[in-house]
Amino acid sequence: MKLFARAFAALALALAAALPAGAQTYPARPVKIIVPFAPGGPADLFARQLGQYMSEDLKQSFVIEDRPGAGSILGTEAVAKAAPDGYTLLAMSNTHTTNESLIPNKPFALMRDFVAVAPINYSDLLMVVPPSLPAKDLKQFIALAKAKPGALNYASSGPGTPYHMAGELFKAMSGTNIVHVPFKGSGEARNAVIGGHVDMMFDAITTMAGNARAGQVRALGTTGAKRSAVLPDVPTIAEAGVPGYDATIWLGLMAPAGTPKAVVDLLNAEVVKIVGRADLQRTWGEQGAVSMIMSPAEFDKYLRADIAKWAHVVEVSGAKVE
């Protein structure tokens, strides 16, 4: 037994020595998670929640830094240029996979300059209009849009965001001409539709459901394949008038390319542990968000498939950056 113990100890020491020096002690100082979107949106809110749990579990500060601008390009570029040591991470969404085809001349390429760490969650979007708009349901909205081509508009938090692409997909599938009005963040876009300054918006159900319940906006449909438990009386867009329509918003975590695999694996294990918590899944479920659990390799494959999916949508819809 003593010989076995010594051999096991020697093996453990050898394995530890084989790890990159930084991975053995990671995280040894505060970690920055850059959110390339405006404060108050789903990416910001869920990143802060994730960072809090990671700080508690890993006994080191995970600091959230909002750095919006240029449709997520500014903050994302900052992470791409950061040292690949695990101390600067990117909170990202399907904005990034869409931008691969929508904005091809970026200062970075997602799958070249970043490595997949882990997904976080996904949620349906909610299509809403101001109560003053003369459209009580989706079919009336489509009829109104077709009667006045180019007269109606819709808000988004910027080019390439899930809100923008949900609108472009809707236009293409419903045969309507609705003008895109990009804002600097989802909060501004949300306030614009609540205030009646724009005619429609697709917003994350996690943030807009409360406004719909309060009567500040009229919900015309949800964007998932089935009705949301958060607003069960609201039909899906597919069942309300646009068969086959399906769009969601999802969030994830990436790191600069070259980040040690041991660090990526540690971060993935931590995120998987957090998003798998029963209490968190229950809380998120009440808000309309669903945990996503994947290995780094599985998330990499998911990202590449999503890039291909939205490249097709961009081509079919004719979406472009204004």
Rounded to whole angstroms, the Cα distance separating 1 from 10 reads 14
Determine the average pLDDT of the residues in 10-34: 67
Cβ 95 vs Cβ 306: under 8 Å? no
CA contacts within 13 A on the Cβ side of 226: 1
**Length, in residues, of the chain:** 322
pLDDT value, residue 158? 86
What are 180-219's pLDDT values in tens digits?
A: 999 988 899 999 999 999 999 999 999 999 999 999 999 9
What gap in Å lies between CA 88 and CA 13, rounded to an integer? 29
Q: What is the secondary structure of 38-61 as a DSSP string?
A: -TTSHHHHHHHHHHHHHHHHHTS-
Neighbours of 260 (CB within 10 A): 19
Q: What mean pLDDT do residues 247-269 have?
A: 97
Asked if the model's pLDDT at residue 132 lies above 80, the reply is yes
Topology alike, domains 29-122+248-317 and 124-240: yes
Query: Which of 257, 266, 262, 269 is CA-nearest to residue 15?
Result: 262
| 306: pLDDT strictly greater than 70 | yes
At residue 23, the pLDDT reads: 56
* 77: three-class secondary structure by DSSP: helix
Q: How far apart are CA 136 and CA 142, in angstroms?
A: 11
CA distance 251 to 90: 10
How confident is the prediction for the chain on average, in pLDDT?
91
pLDDT at 159 (0 to 100): 85
Per residue in 148-159, pLDDT tens? 999 999 999 888
22-31, 67-76, 93-102: which has the minimum mean pLDDT?
22-31
| Choice between 160 and 255, residue whose per-residue pLDDT is larger | 255
Q: Is 12 a residue whose pLDDT tops 80? A: no
The C-alpha atoms of residue 205 and residue 299 are separated, in whole angstroms, by 24
Please say whether the beta carbons of 162 and 247 come within 8 A.
yes
* Dihedral pair phi/psi, residue 110, rounded to 5°: -55, -50
Give the integer Cα–Cα distance in Å for 298 and 309. 17
Residue 44 tokens read as 């910001």
Residue 277 CB neighbours (<10 A):
13
Residue 283, Cβ neighbours under 10 Å: how many? 12
Distance separating alpha carbons of residues 232 and 107, to the nearest angstrom: 43
Is the per-residue pLDDT at 1 higher than 80? no
Alpha-carbon 281 to chain mean position: 17
In the chain, what are the domain boundaries? 29-122+248-317, 124-240
Instruction: For the domain covering 124-240, report its CATH number.
Output: 3.40.190.10
Q: What is the pTM assigned to this prediction?
A: 0.84
| HEC assignment per residue over 176-243 | CCCEEEECCCHHHHHHHHHCCCCCCEEEEHHHHHHHHHCCCCEEEEECCCCCCCCCCCCCEHHHHCCC
C-alpha separations of 55 from 50, 158, 204, 297 in Å: 9, 31, 26, 25
Q: Which residue has the higher pLDDT, 111 or 8?
A: 111
Q: So what's the architecture of 29-122+248-317 in CATH?
A: 3-Layer(aba) Sandwich (3.40)
pLDDT band at 322 (very low <50, low <70, confident <90, very high): low
pLDDT at residue 5 is higher than 60: no
Taking Cα atoms as reference points, which of 99, 170, 98, 92 lies closest to residue 128? 170
Mean pLDDT of 78-102: 96
The residue with greater pLDDT, 318 or 74, is 74
Tokens matching residue 168: 């472009």
Amino acid sitting at position 33: I
- Both tokens of residue 130? 């101001």
Percentage of the chain beyond pLDDT 70 is: 92
Question: Given this model, what pLDDT does residue 19 score?
Answer: 46
Q: In which band, very low, low, confident or very high, does the pLDDT at 7 lie, cut at 50, 70 and 90?
A: very low
| Residue partners of 31: CB distance under 8 A and separation at least 6 | 54, 60, 61, 62, 63, 86, 87, 88, 89
Strand-strand pairing, 31-35 and 88-93: parallel
Confidence at residue 24, expressed as pLDDT on a 0 to 100 scale: 65
